[in-house]
């Protein structure tokens, strides 16, 4: 598993930032730059994405495998330098992995999870949004240029909210990989789609019950970010998350759906303030 690291490697305050389903660790470049003077920031490419290897067995592309990988990563980071404070920022799928890590008190973490940022995700995921994602997941178009690739990504990502052309191009570049012949393709294993498309409403409902159990066991202070127009995290779920478990503090961003990219200044400032404010 590849990861991108920012800040001093000896800094005992570690912030792990984990991306969404079809994304990769470079999504956090802007946020990581803001946090790097204060912490060691680690942004992994979850297996099957970015610079990480692909799994031989596609059914492994699920939260339990991802959580186990993160425990291995944390053990490696601790072997490199002491960890006194541990925080987590998770966008969509990265937030679900964060709930799996934070919601199981017996896990061998190098330090208790202190603060948790859940970016537009909760235990209950709206079924129509999952169906929307399934429509494009695993389809691997070819692009003749990075600019064309960025335009293609925008066609399925406009719910991320307004971005300048420069900011969108910077977000899109790491999403593309060079193909033989000079074209560009998406960076992830198309087999990611197999377990996702096998999901049924019944399976989703059973997963939701388990995720609420995990959420209710979280001890870390929790910030819940929500795109005001999100189709994945409903207002009712966000409200429930503020009333049970860690009683997440809710912050919504207008003009944004699923999910905030944490590039806009006000989004970066919100996360930075929460992670760096005094206890």
Instruction: Please provide the DSSP assignment of 152-203 as one string.
Output: HHHHHHGGG----HHHHHHHHGGGEEE-TTS-EEESS-GGGHHHHHT--HHH
CA–CA separation, 101 and 109 (whole Å):
9
pLDDT tens digits in sequence order for the chain, 279 residues long: 999 999 999 999 999 999 999 999 999 999 999 999 999 999 999 999 999 999 999 999 999 999 999 999 999 999 999 999 999 999 999 999 999 999 999 999 999 999 999 999 999 999 889 888 888 898 899 999 999 999 999 999 999 999 999 999 999 999 999 999 999 999 999 999 999 888 888 888 889 999 999 999 999 999 999 999 999 999 999 999 999 999 999 999 999 999 999 999 999 999 999 999 876
Q: What is the pLDDT of residue 203?
A: 87
Identify which of 258, 125, 141, 140 has the alpha carbon closest to the alpha carbon of residue 199: 125
Q: What is the pLDDT of residue 279?
A: 63
Q: What is the pLDDT of residue 266?
A: 97
The CATH superfamily assigned to 3-126+205-276 is Alpha/Beta hydrolase fold, catalytic domain (3.40.50.1820)
Neighbours of 145 (CB within 10 A): 12
Using DSSP, state whether 279 is helix, strand or coil. coil
Q: What is the pLDDT of residue 4?
A: 98
Residue 226 near residue 92, CB atoms below 8 Å: no
Residue spans per domain, the chain: 3-126+205-276
Q: What is the pLDDT of residue 197?
A: 84
Identify whether 259 is preceded by a cis peptide bond (ω within 30 of 0): yes
Q: What is the pLDDT of residue 119?
A: 98
Neighbours of 178 (CB within 10 A): 10
Q: What is the pLDDT of residue 201?
A: 87
CA–CA separation, 235 and 228 (whole Å):
8
DSSP state of 265: H
């Amino acid at each position: 598993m590849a990861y991108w690291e920012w800040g001093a490697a000896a800094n005992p305050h570690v912030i792990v930032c984990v991306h969404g389903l079809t994304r990769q660790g470079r999504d956090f470049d802007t946020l990581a730059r803001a946090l790097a003077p204060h912490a060691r920031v680690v942004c992994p490419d979850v297996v099957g994405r970015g610079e990480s290897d692909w799994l031989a067995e596609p059914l492994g592309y699920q939260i339990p495998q991802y959580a186990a990988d993160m425990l291995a990563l944390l053990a490696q980071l601790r072997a490199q330098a002491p960890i006194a404070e541990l925080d987590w920022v998770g966008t969509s799928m990265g937030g679900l992995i964060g709930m799996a890590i934070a919601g199981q008190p017996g896990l061998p973490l190098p330090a208790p999870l202190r603060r948790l940022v859940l970016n537009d995700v909760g235990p209950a995921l709206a079924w129509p949004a999952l169906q929307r994602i399934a429509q494009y997941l695993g389809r691997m178009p070819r692009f003749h240029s990075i600019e064309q690739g960025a335009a293609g990504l925008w066609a399925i990502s406009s719910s991320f909210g307004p971005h300048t052309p420069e900011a969108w191009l910077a977000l899109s570049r790491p999403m593309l990989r060079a193909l033989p012949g000079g074209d560009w393709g998406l960076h992830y294993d198309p087999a990611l789609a197999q377990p996702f498309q096998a999901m049924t409403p019944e399976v989703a409902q059973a997963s939701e019950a388990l995720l609420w159990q995990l959420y209710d066991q979280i001890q870390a202070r929790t910030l819940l970010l929500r795109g005001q127009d999100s189709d994945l995290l409903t207002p009712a779920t966000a409200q429930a998350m503020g009333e049970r478990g860690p009683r997440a503090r809710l912050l919504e961003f207008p003009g944004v759906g699923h999910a905030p990219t944490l590039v806009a200044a006000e989004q970066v400032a919100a996360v930075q303030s929460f992670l760096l404010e005094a206890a």
